[in-house]
Amino acid sequence: MPNYWNEAMECMEPEKLKELQNQRLVDTVKRVYEHVPFYRKRMEEAGVKPEDIRGVEDLPKLPFTTKADLRDYYPFDTFAVPMDEIVRIQASSGTTGKQIIAGYTQNDLDSWDECVARGLTSIGVSRKDKVHVSYGYGLFTGGLGAHGGASRVGAAVVPASVGNTKRQMTLLRDLQATTLCCTPSYALHLADALQEVGLTKDDLNLKYGVFGAEPWTEAMRAEIENKLGLKAYDIYGLTEVLGPGVSMECAERNGMHIQADFFIAEIVDPDTFEPLPAGEEGELVFTTITKEGMPMIRYRTKDLTVLHTERCACGRTSPRMEKIRARTDDMLIIRGVNVFPSQIESVILRHAEVEPHYMIYVDRVDNSDTLEVHIEVNEDTFSDQVKKLEDLAKEISADIQSVLGIKAAVRLVEPRSIQRSEGKAVRVIDKRKLYK
Amino acid sequence: MTTKQLSVFVENKPGRLAEITKILEEINVDIRALSIADTTHFGILRLIVNNPEAAESALKDAGFTVSLTRVIAIEVQDEPGGLARALKHLTVAGITVEYMYAFITKKENSAYVIMRVEDNQKAIDVLEANHISVICGKDIYDM
């Protein structure tokens, strides 16, 4: 017996769903044209008027929106309502160390809760459950997003947030939470920590795991399930579009259901940006069709995946997206945090007049992501005093942490010890192999 | 009155010191004194040699990060308390020694101590006012 939170919407006949999308898209385009100078300008440049958009078929006429746009129009110039209507701000990292933000109206937050509630319900979570949320609470959308959805379902929410693994284990054991929401790497970290203190999955009562905010593999899924004794489900989202819950796997685990009455998903060719049919791999693009605070028109996620539109065995008609297969840019996701190599580069440049050669190493050690930055010592940064060199490494490390919010080990290395590449400089070596 | 010291950045990898000393051998440079400051991942090799400029350019050509720093060399009696007397005067004058290392000379009953301080002239003035013998770089290179 499948579980629906909102059967009317989740199982709506495709024709009716398309009608709803058409109507909501037309309304959204009108709204952004009238209220967001940024979108009006873009549409004028593209020679498109709101009345040219009569439905989903006309979507390709609209220009794309990118993260760079959100940075350029930071902080409020992509908002479509006056500040009185905004009740929440969340943030995510941008490409040059400058974060981008998202503003939500109360209706937006309600929609967000609805999306997450649908996802949780689809895997079996109900008001009888206890949901332990170990995503970070704060500007990052993970914590508050999962929290809102679990509260909406009526579950007892444990807002554990990140860190203090010992206390998290005690809470999981004592409160017997049935559902764990966190990044997949933190789930593995927790599993290993349990083992270390002599606890097993039998001491816990976990049934469901809702893991996202970073790419993970089927092998990781199997390992998490085996170690924590739960069923693990993938959740997807991004701050620019909403947060976690834009899509999530149902009990069938046959792709992540996109909440199609809130978002229109497209797949486009990453080189030509021409729309691609379902079943073909390309860049995922979202248009929000209910969002009030910060509507997104054809937002390029830079995530590569495949869409499937046939009805799922669970009965839902919403399109499903496969796990993210790769990124089209150099963004890394480290411990759930979006990291652009350029952010690290700008920190290094602040500490050296002559740009040093550097390399960023990302790895997963004991199920936790590690970030190490090797910097070649040059005449500009060298000192005959150990303390000065150690201070330099420490300062760079502290600055990286303040920009990214995650720790980085900085190591000074000899000149010419980092391999040079021919052509485009390779600045990152990611050893994690997270994508297929 | 100062002495030129070569500082070389060395990663903790096998063979690096052998490589550096080999380079010095090839250009016929003689090492007078050396010390290594080591940390977990890297070390700084400090050298006093007979021809600092030649050594510097040869090591740079070989791809090493090298700096020439002026340090102070003093001569102390090779007996208990010899160094303590010299350091006491610096302490009284509020001068901090960043690092130092010593070596026995060919001269009987005396040792040379290399010191790195922030302000060389100030330290030299204090030492000389207290009759501590500061050695000229040239005397060490030609030792």
Alpha helices for A197-336 (secondary structure H): 218-228
Is the pLDDT at A95 greater than 60? The verdict is: no
Last residue of a domain, one of B37, B69, B101: B69
pLDDT of A436 reads: 56
pLDDT of A402 reads: 86
Confidence of residue A336 (pLDDT cuts 50, 70, 90): confident
C-alpha–C-alpha distance, residues A70 and A87, integer Å: 19
Q: What is the CATH number of the domain that holds B15?
A: 3.30.2130.10
Query: Are B87 and B112 in a shared domain?
Result: yes
Angle at the Cα of A322 (from A319 to A323), degrees rounded to 5? Answer: 140
Residues of A in contact with B41 (CB under 8 A): 411-413
Is the pLDDT at A321 greater than 90? The verdict is: yes
Is the pLDDT at A420 greater than 80? The verdict is: no
Confidence of residue B126 (pLDDT cuts 50, 70, 90): very high
Tell me which residue of B30, B34, B3 sits closest to B17, measured CA to CA: B34
pLDDT of B106 reads: 79
ipTM of the complex: 0.86
A384 and B41 in contact by Cβ < 8 A? no
Domain ranges of chain A: 7-328, 333-430
Is the pLDDT at A358 greater than 60? The verdict is: yes
pLDDT of A96 reads: 52
- Average pLDDT (A5-14) is 96
Residue B81 structural domain: 70-141
Query: Are B38 and B92 in a shared domain?
Result: no
pLDDT of A273 reads: 96
Residue A235 three-state SS: strand
Half-sphere exposure of A390 (CA within 13 A, CB side): 11
Is the pLDDT at B101 greater than 90? The verdict is: yes
Confidence of residue A404 (pLDDT cuts 50, 70, 90): confident
**Interface mutation vs chain A, best among B9, B19, B68, B117, most A CBs within 10 Å:** B9
- Average pLDDT (A101-110) is 98
Confidence of residue A291 (pLDDT cuts 50, 70, 90): very high
| Distance to chain A for B126, nearest Cα, Å | 23
Query: Is the minimum CB–CB distance between A420 and chain B shorter than 8 Å?
Result: no
- β-strand pairing of A231-237 with A208-212: parallel
Query: Is the minimum CB–CB distance between A377 and chain B shorter than 8 Å?
Result: yes
The CATH fold of domain A333-430: GMP Synthetase; Chain A, domain 3 (3.30.300)
Count the domains in chain B.
2
pTM for the model stands at 0.76
Which of the residue ranges A313-317, A355-359, B54-58, B66-70 would you say has the lowest mean pLDDT?
A355-359
- Average pLDDT (A135-143) is 93
The CATH fold of domain A7-328: Rossmann fold (3.40.50)
Confidence of residue A423 (pLDDT cuts 50, 70, 90): low
Query: Is the minimum CB–CB distance between A419 and chain B shorter than 8 Å?
Result: no
- Average pLDDT (A266-288) is 96
| Distance to chain B for A408, nearest Cα, Å | 15
Last residue of a domain, one of B24, B47, B69: B69
**Interface mutation vs chain A, best among B34, B38, B42, B68, most A CBs within 10 Å:** B42
Tell me which residue of A316, A259, A325 sits closest to A287, measured CA to CA: A259
| Distance to chain B for A404, nearest Cα, Å | 24
With beta carbons less than 8 A apart as the criterion, state whether A242 and A148 touch: no
Is the pLDDT at A51 greater than 80? The verdict is: yes
Query: Are B10 and B60 in a shared domain?
Result: yes
From the DSSP assignment, how many helices (H) and strands (E) are in chain A? 11, 22
pLDDT of A422 reads: 65
Query: Is the minimum CB–CB distance between A1 and chain B shorter than 8 Å?
Result: no
A416 and B63 in contact by Cβ < 8 A? yes
Query: Are B60 and B99 in a shared domain?
Result: no
A165-175 vs A184-196: helix crossing angle, rounded to 10: 80
